[in-house]
């Protein structure tokens, strides 16, 4: 049976890249429209849709997956000028990836990330256009705005975004009209990126670089879900007169819907990992956390009864991350708590330079970045660790473009570079180290 799939517009769905397709079935079937999502966070919970099941039943196809195995007829994707064939080995992708180098070491690590993505495109026959746009302090300097409108427009028209870092002491004046971090908050809001995913994994080769003992940290595998567009960072704030001079205030606000959507994603991920979800709040003090706890418990009880669920207060969680990190699987929490806890957890593998993150919404492109900051003290010295940027690029390929084999290739290349003993300065423990560019060369050697 031949099935002709005609693109009807580039569109991203909840987690992965999902080009919409018009599926033209034989005459005795009606024409159906569907997308073909795939997520390594929770396949069974996040991939399935009624449309896909209908099409799969009609074609006797057991599973749709844009970058993995498929049983059934060949699908043809294409336009008048270009066609690509989706078979068991994958398909050719034409994607727009916006690069936002930002400040500090951002340009150095994004340059290396671009090299890796170019290598993947060449190896697998994809075409990635990768325009660069300003964000953060450099955008303030050049345009007076940490997130210029052309940057927003290009990001909205993209399939995915790779970010370096923003900020630095040059723009730290508290009396300044605006700050680089405003650009980061604004892009999350503009793109509706409500879910921040931060995997915390240890590399066997680097466990001894962790400040914790090997027996505590080895084997840690945590996936944090941090709510990203609500809470105190987006609440009302300001200053007002006070009898002592001034007082400042920030409001923490969460709605039922904001809690539901992030908890659902986290629970779906837990269902397809080790089946355990931990929700972190401060319900013994904060009314916001009491609402969070009530909504989270209801969502899990009614929609995910098969998973193990626990609630931990944020201060206790900070201690548990240090004393027993291997006990946790998926952790979901609010914006500020997630910001603090994930930075603390980032030291478990031994370096901020090893950990990527993804910021995703219900529609549109995802934003991918290393979790380390702009590190202005080492900017321009070619010693920054680019591995987290490479791993963020792998997340981009997997979750926004459905290119799992390509993502696996990057992750394997990073592991191989580490296994061969190569280290950047931050993980060299005083020994011999390689530069940012040299580490990029080593990973590229593994990809060719």
Has 172 been annotated as catalytic? no
Instruction: Assess whether 327 carries a catalytic annotation.
Output: no
**Helix axis angle, 387-399 relative to 404-419, nearest 10°?**
160
Beta carbons of 51 and 33 less than 8 angstroms apart = yes
The one catalytic residue among 94, 145, 343, 441? 343
List of residues 6+ apart from 334 with CB closer than 8 A: 226, 227, 230, 231, 252, 254, 280, 281, 288, 289, 292
Spot the catalytic one: 282, 329, 425, 426.
282
Among residues 366, 345, 342, 346, which one has the least CA distance to residue 355? 346
Q: Are 213 and 228 in contact (CB under 8 A)?
A: no
- Residue 26 burial (10 A CB sphere; 0-12, 13-18, 19+): exposed
Strands of 51-158, DSSP E: 75-78, 83-86, 94-102, 127-129
Is 153 annotated in the active site? no
Edge-to-edge strand order for the sheet containing 3-7? Answer: 32-34, 21-24, 3-7, 75-78, 83-86
- Catalytic residue selected from 94, 145, 339, 441: 339
**Selected catalytic residue, list 142, 153, 157, 315:** 315
Give, as one character, the DSSP assignment of residue 12: B
Identified catalytic residue from 233, 254, 309, 368: 233
32 touches 57 (CB < 8 A) = no
Q: Is 17 a catalytic residue?
A: no
Residues with a catalytic annotation lie at 233, 282, 315, 339, 343
């Amino acid at each position: 049976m031949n099935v002709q799939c005609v693109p009807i517009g580039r569109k991203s769905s909840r987690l992965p890249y999902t080009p919409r397709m018009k599926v033209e079935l034989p005459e005795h079937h009606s024409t159906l429209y569907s997308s073909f999502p795939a997520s390594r966070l929770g396949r069974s919970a996040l991939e399935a849709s009624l449309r896909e099941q209908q099409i799969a039943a009609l074609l006797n196809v057991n599973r749709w997956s844009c970058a993995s195995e498929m049983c059934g007829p060949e699908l043809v994707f294409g336009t008048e000028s270009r066609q690509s064939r989706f078979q068991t080995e994958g398909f050719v992708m034409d994607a727009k990836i916006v690069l936002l180098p930002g400040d500090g070491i951002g340009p150095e690590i994004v340059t290396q990330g671009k090299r890796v993505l170019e290598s993947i495109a060449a190896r697998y026959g994809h075409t990635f256009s990768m325009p660069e746009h300003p964000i953060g302090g450099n955008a303030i300097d050049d345009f007076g705005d940490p997130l210029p409108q052309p940057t927003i427009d290009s990001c909205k028209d993209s399939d995915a975004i790779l970010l370096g870092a923003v900020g630095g002491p040059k723009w730290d004046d508290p009396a300044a009209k605006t700050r680089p971090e405003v650009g980061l908050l604004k892009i999350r809001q503009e793109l509706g990126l409500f879910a921040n995913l931060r995997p915390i994994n240890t590399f066997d080769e680097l466990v001894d670089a962790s400040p914790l003992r090997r027996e505590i940290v080895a084997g840690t595998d945590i996936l944090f879900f941090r709510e990203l567009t609500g809470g105190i960072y987006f609440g009302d704030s300001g200053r007002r007169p006070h009898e002592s001079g001034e007082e400042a205030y920030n409001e923490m606000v969460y709605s039922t819907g904001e809690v539901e959507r992030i908890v659902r994603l986290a629970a779906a991920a837990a269902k397809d990992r080790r089946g355990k979800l931990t929700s972190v709040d401060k319900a013994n003090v904060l009314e916001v956390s009491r609402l969070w706890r009530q909504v989270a418990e209801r969502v899990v009880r009614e929609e995910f009864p098969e998973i193990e669920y626990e609630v931990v207060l944020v201060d206790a969680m900070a201690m548990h991350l240090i004393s027993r990190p291997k006990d946790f699987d998926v952790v979901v929490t609010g914006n500020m708590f997630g910001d603090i806890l994930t930075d603390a957890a980032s030291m478990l593998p031994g370096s901020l330079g090893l950990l990527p993150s993804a910021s995703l919404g219900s529609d549109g492109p995802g934003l991918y970045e290393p979790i380390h900051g702009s590190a202005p003290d080492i900017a321009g010295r070619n010693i920054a660790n680019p591995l987290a940027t490479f791993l963020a690029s792998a997340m981009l390929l997997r979750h926004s473009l459905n290119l799992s084999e390509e993502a696996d290739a990057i992750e394997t290349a990073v592991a191989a570079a580490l296994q061969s003993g190569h280290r950047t300065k931050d993980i060299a423990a005083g020994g011999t180290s390689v530069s940012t560019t040299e580490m990029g060369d080593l990973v590229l050697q593994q990809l060719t």
